[in-house]
Structure 1
Amino acid sequence: MNKVAILVDGGFYRKVANKVMGPKSASERADELYSYCNRHLSYKNYGKKVHDELYRIFYYDCQPSDKVIYNPLTHETIDFLKLDSSKWAKDFFDSLSHKRKVALRFGELSDGTAGYSINRAATKSLINGKKKIEELTQNDLAFSVQQKGVDMRIGLDIATLSLKQQVDKIILIAGDSDFVPAAKLARREGIDFVLDPLGHKIKDSLALHIDGLTSADQKYKQGNW
């Protein structure tokens, strides 16, 4: 039996789960994630059923933005803390925090990067002359803000878990982020490092430095998202 730590890139998980599994309430999404992580603990190894021990689930994300942002299309200001999506996120974090062996790690949002921009499809239509500026709608705009500190916290926890020999295996649920240095460190310390990209294709440079690639649900394994 291995002692296993499961690390979850929250922004990545929520985006993919919403697309693959469909929208859910905050508590339902929290239950879904908790169940999904625990499914990683039971698997077959050379035909034999294995049940690993959960050390802890580490969940990494950012709190919703508290900024008031100007919308260039409607000429209105939007208080993001009053949006339904912000309330959903807070309820989701609260539901997760009450589950056994779950630790939440929060980075920060880079307020200087927060704002609206024209999305890729609309930009292409403008360049091709298929759409005029005055024909833009709210659906043509995308709000974006960069996270700070999430990847760093994931890397630090991988290093700490590995150097202190607190676990035998680390399962990282994340996309194709640059976790190669952390993965290499974990493997040098004898840790079994497994990546779950939820069906997302990863770069060869990352595949070289992991011990396994898997997903705990067939819907993600299909990689159709």
Structure 2
Amino acid sequence: MTKTAILVDGGFYRKRAKALWGEKSPEERAEELNRYVFRHILEKSDGKSERELYRIFYYDCPPVQRTVYHPLLKRNIDFGKAETYRWTLDFFDELKCKRKMALRMGKLSDVRPHFALDPEKVKRLCSGAIGVEDLDERDFHISFSQKGVDMRLGLDISSLAYEGIVSQIILVSGDSDFVPAAKIARRKGIDFILDPMGNSISSDLMEHVDGKESFTDRDPMDKPARKKHQK
């Protein structure tokens, strides 16, 4: 048996899952995540030995709770009263109830959250192709920084590798920031698998992992299908 730890970049998973399988309640999204990561154990595609789950590590940050001024709407928006705030907290509570699930929470940076304009709209605005009157609310997104999430993920990868707790790590993410941690794990003999959930990844990231494996052929809440092999 290959003892396997599954590490989930929470912000990446939630964004990608929403794009793949649409909006869901906190309970449904938490159950979906649980079923999705377990497909790596039950429907493995590496063609090697059976996998034994050590633990699922989920990394994320509390939702924005502050009041932020929207420059287009010209009014303050209280994110603490927004539906997404309550949804995110309920989602985290649901994950805490899942067996073998460990939450690793960072925190928001002290830098004040703000609304940022889509880069493409900035280009068109500066070139004169569009005017301010052509912008709408969807062209803006809330911008804030997380603290401690990447650090916790990197430390856990290093700890799992140096202490010999597992022989395989599966990382659900598409972020090349984790390359240094992946290199450390591989030097210690860890089989490091990346799951970008069907997203294309940079050659730099692919160079420093031992394989790629995704199970996005169906909604995890649907009935099981045949195994999908992806290398």
Q: Is the TM-score greater than 0.5? A: yes
Could you say what the CA RMSD is over the residues aligned between the two structures, in angstroms?
Answer: 1.9
- Match of 2:111, SS state, is helix
Matches within 5 A, 1:137-216: 137-216=136-215
CA contact (8 A) 2:198 2:216 kept: no
CA contact (8 A) 2:45 2:213 kept: no
Does 1:41 pair with 2:41? yes
Query: Which segments of 5 or more consecutive residues in structure 2 lack a partner in the other structure?
Result: 220-227
Following TM superposition, where does structure 1 have runs of at least 4 consecutive aligned residues deviating by more than 6 angstroms?
none
Task: Using the aligned pairs only, state the percent identity.
Answer: 51
Code of the aligned partner of 1:19: A
Tell me the residue number matched to 1:15. Answer: 15
Q: Structure 1 counterpart of 2:171, which letter? A: L
* Secondary structure in structure 2 of the residue aligned to 1:69: strand
SS of residue paired to 1:201: coil
Is the Cα contact below 8 Å between 1:12 and 1:174 reproduced in 2? yes
Q: Work out the CA distance in 2 between the residues paired with 1:116 and 1:16.
A: 21
Per-residue CA deviation, residues 66-125 of structure 1 (Å, 9 max, x unaligned), is 211112222222221110011111011000000001000111222415101222343243
For residues 9 and 45 of structure 2, the distance between their equivalents in structure 1, rounded to whole angstroms, comes to 25
| 2:88 equivalent in structure 1 | 89
Residues 176 and 201, structure 1, Cα contact 8 Å, conserved in 2: no
* Cα 1:44–1:69 shift into 2, 3 Å: closer
SS in 2 for 1:63: coil
Letter in 2 for 1:137: D
Gaps of 5+ in 1: none
Q: Which whole-Å CA distance do the structure 2 matches of 1:117 and 1:151 have between them?
A: 23
Q: Distance in 2 between matches of 1:17 and 1:201?
A: 15
TM-score of the pair, normalised by structure 1: 0.90
Offset at 1:21? 1.0
Q: Deviations over 1:155-199 (max 9, x none)?
A: 000000111111111000001322122111111111111011112
